[in-house]
Structure 1
Amino acid sequence: MTKFQLLGIPTRNWMAVIAAAITAFTTTLDIQVIAFGLGPLADAFEVDTSLVAWVSLLSLLFTVGFMLTAGSFGDRFGRVQVLVFGLMFTTVALAASAFCQNFTQLLITRLVHGIGNVFVVAPGVALIVGAVPKSHRGVALGVQGMAAGVGYFGGPILAGWALETLDWRALFYLRIPIHLTSILLVFLFLRAPKGNSNLPIDFLGSVLSMLAFGSLTLAINQGGRLGWDHPLPILCAFLTPLFLFGLIIVERSTAAPILDLQQLIKVKSYWIGIVTHFSTYHIQTGIPILSALLVTSKMQGNLTQAGIVVAVYPLARVILSPFSGWMSDKLGTHKMIVWGLALLTISTFSIGIFASSMNLTLVMLLLLLAGMGFVIWEPANQGAIVASIPNNVGTASSMVALSRHLGIVSGVTVATAAFVTAASKASGVEADLARPSALEQSAILAGVETGFIVIAIIGLVGLAVSALRFIGGTNSRSETL
């Protein structure tokens, strides 16, 4: 008896794709909800914007530091088991966050969320690859990418409505039913072979990567808040290269490294793609944070409508994701990468230059253009990375995820630090008092303009690195992972 199929994929496998796509949705939804809610959270707990950024950063730092280790846990204990553990952990963390009584408690619950989130993110692509025949994986992964776009799109709308109608606690407890649904779908429809308990785990490399990236993030974040002559950012800036050096030594000598540095260095297309992935996700994360501050200021605190305006940015990803991979196959990945990143960077620069004078219609147009640039760039860059190492797709995929989350962490850190530094200078208040509710509109706009320009400059660096593909190379056409 022939099983019913849709686009060549059996129905049961489609349910597995949908279940995995929902986990992608929950991850991006969390990023956007927290990004939009940073300003109101700063006001609720009476802390400055650069400090409240750690509500997002603590979760992301654990995801970055233990990303590759979580992937090895999936190989060792089973990917479905690891995913279910992560979803349960994040659900508990969301519930705990909603009951926090002070800022310290909120940071602790977000740390717990980060521990669970890394086990949600790491096995996602591998689970889909295991559930869908090779000839149809592009369709399945496209669905997952669209689900991630829906999370980016829905996050500002949900956050704006929750903050306007309820309070900051709703940012967390309203998402618990989504997580419970994800757990149920994973239990019912995702199947994966048991892991290999004999595989080694690089614990020392994981700890060193966490310390290196954590100290770097703390240096950037607190340098903008406390001043670059303060002992804390100086100490962190000193420790960062030491931890990175230790990580390099350990990864070169261990039998099962979490980061294959030799492969990263030797293949030009590989490291160009990784650097570009980092810089572009830096912009991708900074835009919604700064846009929320900009639009809320112009709309005089109407959070629901502000959320709808900010959601315009990821709208292009929801609509165009199924077609962008097809375009890169037809036109070549290199051209798509440069065109997309150029459109994203120019749009971001334009908002930074004209933020004070432009109306909301123009803001929405530029956000839409920036989103189009991102969706043109993403599948082409991912395809170029994977194609550069055809015999080790697993390593390439892990590095894509790692560079993406490093960019997210850096984007949150730099965007908030740039905003606080410029806004506090414009208002004449201390940086630790630069909360949105305590600032005049002119100071908020000054901070937003500076933030957009800073993240756009990092986009220019990524654009320059991407152009290196045209030096001594060809415009290859590659399939997306």
Structure 2
Amino acid sequence: MRKWWPLVAVCLGTFMFLLDTTVLSVALPDIGERLSTSLSALQWVANIYTLVLAVLMLTMGALVDRFGTRTVYVAGLMVFGIASLICGLAPNAGVLVTARAVQGIGGAAMAVTTFALIGAFYRGPDMGRAMGAFGAVTGLAAAVGPILGGILTQYLSWRAVFFLNIPLVAVTVALSLRVLAPGRQSAGTRIDLPGMITFALCAGSLTYAVTSAGEEGWTSPTVLSLLALTALALVVFARVELRSPAPLLDVRLFARASFSAVMMCVVASTAAFAALVYTSVWLQSGLGLGPVRAGLALMPLALASFATSLISGRRLHGKSPRAILATGLLLSGIGCALQSGLDTGSSAGSLAAGLAVTGVGVGLMGPTMGAAVFAALPPERGGMAAGAMTTFRQLGQTLAVAAFGILFQQSGTALPEALNQVLIAAAAAGIIGSVLACIFVPKPAAATASVPARRDLTGSR
């Protein structure tokens, strides 16, 4: 039993990191009401966290090489815990959004060290068991998140969603310091600060532009200025990375059609989860459900995803990622399409079948997404592939929430119609992603066998 304590420490942090996202989706309407917050501000409560994750994932990989896995993991836990306390005490939306940004810093540090820590302690059959347990924990976090968020919000307060993290952080930090080895450090590791700054500017201005477009319109001076800044920052970022001896992201990789297409598949895979933010708004503001009943209404997706990921991770291991990823994206899109068609007579049960189909798709995509990304590049670029995948996943979800917010706001007070537009857009994203996977995802014989080395899995070089 002693050898499994490091896995317990890693899984505790991962559970908390993922739970914080799924729990919040149910709590957002109550946050908006209690803090008298607009929909655009609520978007930032969700978006700022994933945006910071996207911006810092690649940079944190370099910090892991510089300071060691345990140091970065424990530091991330402590930052996450302090930020959670501030979130729970936030008197207004501005403080909450700021604290969520800090929480994202801690979350990025936790996320990039996960696989490296597992790889440091387990080999052979033990690695398979460890990854199986890790997959079950990630599925469990998705499954219990909506209902736990509903219970905490309805019977305590939305603030309890954040306060829950504090004892979890304390236990995880204490256990990590006791059972995790410090990890290898490299004082010569360079941090690409210009790349980090220009990428943050590009991603932040684009997200702000899309979010602002919902209220001000695409032709407003503010939005046009932000889009121009986005384009300028992107050009500068590309030039910086091309010249850097240790780039955050080798932009030459996007010359490969397979790599670019797989990154678009990663972005498409986030659409169904982004739509849940607005599904929760409709369930609570449109149907008048309490947070607990709203959380229960979302359970078909979580349970189907959990069950499918457990089965597919074991049964489909070693199979070509092309067909699995294409099927998962297609089912995710079909499920979103089945959820649409809502009207004033629709109930929470109208979503159940579509949510379950989407959940099956999500469960298929989860275990195979990494294999698809690694198949698009030579094995020696595994670290870069892992970093790009996590970055595009977080950035994709951030932009999807912002873009869906525009569709949702354009329909005024007609909530069923507004949600229908969001769900149709999410369905289109899934189906387009499925087509891209069918055409571009390679299927080499060693696609799923080429698991990156421990250092690569941090997303660093």
**2:73 maps to amino acid:** L
Compared with structure 1, are the counterparts of its residues 128 and 473 closer, same or farther at alpha carbon in structure 2 (3 Å cutoff)?
Answer: closer
**2:269 aligned counterpart, secondary structure:** helix
Once the 2 structures are TM-superposed, how far is the Cα of residue 135 of structure 1 from its aligned partner?
A: 5.0
Is 1:391 matched up with 2:380? yes
Deviation at 1:133, TM superposition (A): 0.8
Counterparts of residues 113-192 of structure 1 (less than 5 Å): 113-192=103-182
Q: Give 1:302's aligned amino acid.
A: G
Q: Secondary structure at the residue paired with 2:32? A: helix
Structure 2 stretches lacking a partner, 5+ long: 452-461
1:22-64 CA-partner distances (Å, limit 9, x unpaired): 2221111111122222222122222221221111222222211
- Give the superposition deviation at 1:475: 8.4
AA aligned opposite 1:40? D
Q: Which residue of 2 aligns with 1:271?
A: 260
Q: Which residue does 2:50 correspond to in 1?
A: 60
Please give the alpha-carbon distance, in whole angstroms, between the structure 2 residues aligned to 1:473 and 1:107.
42
Q: Does structure 1 retain, via aligned residues, the 8 Å contact 2:309–2:366?
A: no
Question: What is the deviation of 1:358?
Answer: 4.3
Tell me the residue number matched to 2:404.
Answer: 415
Q: Say whether 1:238 aligns with 2:228.
A: yes
Shift of 1:192: 4.0
Give me the whole-angstrom Cα distance separating, in 1, the residues matched to 2:15 and 2:235.
36
CA contact (8 A) 2:326 2:433 kept: no
CA offsets per residue over residues 204-252 of structure 1, 9 Å max, x none? 1011111101111111111012222222211111111111111100001
Take 1:347 and 1:357, find their aligned partners in 2: how far apart are those partners? 20
1:340 corresponds, among 314, 328, 346, to 328
| Counterpart contact for 2:287–2:347, Cα < 8 Å | no
Moved more, 326-335 or 346-355: 326-335
Give the aligned residue type for 2:176.
V
Displacement of 1:355 in angstroms is 5.9
| CA distance, structure 2, for counterparts of residue 142 and residue 187 of structure 1 | 24
- Residues 1:196 and 1:330: Cα distance change in structure 2 (over 3 Å): closer
Give the Cα–Cα distance (whole angstroms) in 2 for the partners of residues 401 and 140 of structure 1: 20
In structure 2, give the amino acid aligned to 1:353: G
Cα distance between partner residues in 2 of 1:164 and 1:41: 12
Q: Which of the residues 296, 307, 311 maps onto 2:299? A: 311
Say which of 362, 371, 377 aligns to 1:374: 362
2:423 maps to a residue whose letter is F
User: Compared with structure 1, are the counterparts of its residues 154 and 416 closer, same or farther at alpha carbon in structure 2 (3 Å cutoff)?
Assistant: farther
**Within 1, Cα distance between the matches of 2:203 and 2:323?**
32
Instruction: Summarize the Cα distance change of 1:354–1:102 in structure 2 as closer, same or farther, 3 Å threshold.
Output: closer
Is the contact made by 2:321 and 2:369 (CA closer than 8 Å) also made in structure 1?
yes
Instruction: Name the structure 2 match of 1:50.
Output: 40
1:298 shift after superposition: 6.0
CA–CA separation in structure 2 for the residues paired with 1:332 and 1:355:
41
Distance 1:331 1:115 in 2: 35
Deviation at 1:160, TM superposition (A): 1.0
Instruction: Tell me if structure 2 keeps the 8 A contact 1:353–1:453.
Output: no
Equivalent residue for 2:238, pick from 229, 245, 248: 248
Count residues in correspondence: 450
SS class of match (2:41): helix
Residue 111 (structure 1) aligns with: 101
Answer yes or no: is the 8 Å Cα contact 1:348–1:366 preserved in 2: yes
- Matched position secondary structure for 2:316: helix
**Pairing 1:259–2:230 present:** no
- Percent identical residues: 25
Rounded to whole Å, the distance in 1 between the matches of 2:334 and 2:345 is: 17
Is 360-369 or 192-201 further displaced after alignment? 360-369
Q: Assess if the C-alpha contact under 8 Å between 1:419 and 1:451 holds in 2.
A: yes
| CA positional deviation for 1:177 | 1.6
Equivalent residue, structure 1, for 2:430: 459
Q: Per-residue displacement from partner, 1:184-218 (whole Å, max 9, x unpaired)?
A: 22122222423101111101101111110111111
Q: Is the 8 A contact 2:211 2:402 kept in 1?
A: yes
Distance between the aligned counterparts of 2:260 and 2:218, measured in 1?
30
Q: Does the aligned pair in 1 maintain the 2:301–2:356 contact within 8 Å?
A: yes
- Residue identity matched to 1:193: G
Structure 1 position 357, deviation (Å): 4.9
Contact 1:387 1:479 in 2 (8 A): no
Structure 2 vs 1, CA of residues 480 and 341 (structure 1 numbering), >3 Å: closer, same or farther? farther
- Which one of 61, 67, 82 corresponds to residue 71 of structure 1? 61
Q: 1:415 to 1:398 in 2, by over 3 A?
A: same
Does the 8 A contact of 2:318 with 2:448 survive in 1?
no
Partner of residue 288 from structure 2, selected from 284, 300, 311: 300
Structure 1 gap ranges (5+): 1-10, 428-442
Give the secondary structure class of the aligned counterpart of 1:353.
Answer: coil
Distance in 2 (CA, whole Å) between partners of 1:140 and 1:479 is 17
Is 292-301 or 201-210 further displaced after alignment? Answer: 292-301
Equivalent residue, structure 2, for 1:80: 70
> Aligned residue for 1:444?
415
